[in-house]
């Protein structure tokens, strides 16, 4: 059964979360027979919706669909908006890069993104902004390498349409000179921040395409994470900053990535998340809550 929480003017509920015992707390309400029946029917519908939501599986944003070089405007992928606060300042904005080998970017000057994952996400180099063949598609997709010189950074923001549980993301070409900060923010403003050092992945061009050049980064663990092949580059433990209440991994509204370092180029793929349990299934309970009154 879902949890129910109420006051004299409202009644709301949510699905039980990992490790919780689900209890419906209705003892403080007086309801006539009709409203009691309506309440039970509503809770049964919510319980079914909770089951469906919690067993629907994860959503993976793999950036497939748009053609190589597509300049992203934010709404290309259902459920999330992709933006950048410093687009046009230190880079040309989020874009699609086809990492296939062989593929359309084989002849490019920077081959360390050819990791054979299909489309990946990059911040486009601001020296390569021409779109002479197709409007909205960069002629030469390639990632930004310096973000305006010493001290420059690049920003990527994923804003989810509704609260989610973010599981992981694939980091690409995070080798010499590239560092990342990943910050998850829940609906109350609490944050979980990860710092990722340089050399967390290998460079496929340097290893002669005998290595992967990418690794999956866990966005739930509270421990350190070793990079590709369990190498020597290990992240520090993440930092939780509780602004209001306690950080809630089930209610994430955004993921912000900041690229930094001496040559902070990198790519991203397979952002994986699960909708928050119970999201969008409790609307009918408001009608019941309006008629319920607290026992005096």
In the chain, % of residues over pLDDT 70: 71
pLDDT per residue over 224-245, tens digit each? 999 997 666 899 999 999 999 9
Asked whether residue 146 falls in the same domain as residue 13, the answer is no
Asked whether residue 20 falls in the same domain as residue 166, the answer is no
Asked whether residue 169 falls in the same domain as residue 251, the answer is yes
Asked whether residue 191 falls in the same domain as residue 143, the answer is yes
- Kindly calculate the radius of gyration of the chain based on its CA atoms and give it in whole angstroms: 23
If pLDDT is split at 50, 70 and 90, which confidence band does 21 have?
A: very low
Dihedral of the alpha carbons of 95, 101, 128, 67, in degrees to the nearest 10: -40
Asked whether residue 72 falls in the same domain as residue 133, the answer is yes
C-alpha distance from residue 113 to each of 12, 52, 117, 149, 180 (Å): 47, 38, 9, 21, 17
Average pLDDT, the chain: 82
Asked whether residue 19 falls in the same domain as residue 157, the answer is no
C-alpha distance from residue 116 to each of 42, 87, 174, 226 (Å): 48, 27, 16, 22
C-alpha distance from residue 12 to each of 42, 159, 274 (Å): 11, 25, 21
Asked whether residue 160 falls in the same domain as residue 258, the answer is yes
Give the chain's domain count.
Answer: 2
Residue-range definition of the domain harbouring residue 166: 59-275
Compute the distance between CA of residue 220 and CA of residue 167 in angstroms, rounded to an integer: 6
Strand residues in the chain grouped as ranges (E): 3-7, 10-14, 29-30, 59-61, 80-83, 94-98, 119-123, 154-172, 179-186, 191-196, 214-218, 239-241, 252-260, 267-275, 293-294
Asked whether residue 253 falls in the same domain as residue 187, the answer is yes
Place of tokens 């919706």: 49
Asked whether residue 189 falls in the same domain as residue 290, the answer is no
210 neighbors 116 (Cβ within 8 angstroms): no
Q: Which pLDDT value is given to residue 178? A: 79
Q: Which pLDDT value is given to residue 26? A: 42
If pLDDT is split at 50, 70 and 90, which confidence band does 57 have?
A: confident
175 vs 32, residue with greater confidence: 175
pLDDT per residue over 246-278, tens digit each? 999 999 999 999 998 767 779 999 999 998 765
pTM comes to 0.80
Asked whether residue 42 falls in the same domain as residue 111, the answer is no
Asked whether residue 31 falls in the same domain as residue 149, the answer is no
35 vs 230, residue with greater confidence: 230
Q: Is the dihedral of CA 229, 231, 233, 237 positive or negative?
A: positive
Asked whether residue 262 falls in the same domain as residue 290, the answer is no
Mean pLDDT across the stretch 86-113?
92
Compute the distance between CA of residue 141 and CA of residue 126 in angstroms, rounded to an integer: 10
Question: In terms of Cα–Cα distance, which of 194, 240, 198 is closest to 217?
Answer: 194
186 neighbors 171 (Cβ within 8 angstroms): no
pLDDT per residue over 64-87, tens digit each? 999 999 999 999 999 999 999 999
Q: Which pLDDT value is given to residue 285? A: 44
């Amino acid at each position: 059964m879902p949890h129910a929480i109420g006051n004299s003017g409202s009644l709301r509920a949510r699905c039980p979360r990992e490790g919780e015992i689900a209890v419906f707390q209705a003892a403080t309400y007086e309801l006539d027979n009709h409203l009691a029946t309506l309440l039970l029917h509503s809770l049964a519908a919510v319980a079914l919706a909770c089951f469906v939501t919690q067993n629907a599986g994860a959503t993976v944003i793999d950036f497939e669909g748009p053609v190589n070089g597509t300049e992203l405007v934010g709404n290309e992928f259902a459920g999330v908006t992709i933006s950048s606060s410093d687009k046009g300042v230190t880079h040309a904005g989020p874009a699609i890069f086809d990492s296939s080998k062989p593929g359309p970017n084989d002849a490019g000057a920077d081959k360390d993104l050819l990791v054979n994952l299909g489309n990946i996400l990059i911040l486009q180099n601001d020296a390569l902004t021409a779109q002479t063949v197709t409007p909205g598609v960069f002629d030469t997709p390639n990632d930004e390498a310096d973000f305006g010189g010493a001290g420059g950074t690049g920003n990527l923001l994923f804003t989810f349409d509704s609260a989610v549980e973010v599981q992981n993301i694939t980091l690409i070409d995070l080798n010499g000179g590239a560092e990342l900060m990943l910050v998850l923010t829940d609906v109350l403003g609490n944050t979980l921040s990860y710092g990722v050092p340089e050399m967390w992945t290998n460079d496929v061009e340097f290893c002669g395409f005998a290595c992967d050049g990418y690794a999956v980064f866990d966005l739930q663990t509270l421990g350190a994470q070793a990079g590709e092949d369990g190498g020597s580059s290990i992240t520090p433990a993440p930092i939780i900053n509780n602004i209001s209440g306690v950080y809630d991994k089930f209610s994430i509204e955004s993921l912000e990535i900041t690229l930094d370092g001496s040559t902070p180029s990198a790519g991203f793929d397979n952002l994986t998340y699960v909708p928050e349990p119970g999201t969008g299934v409790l609307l009918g309970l408001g009608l019941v809550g309006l008629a319920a009154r607290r026992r005096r």
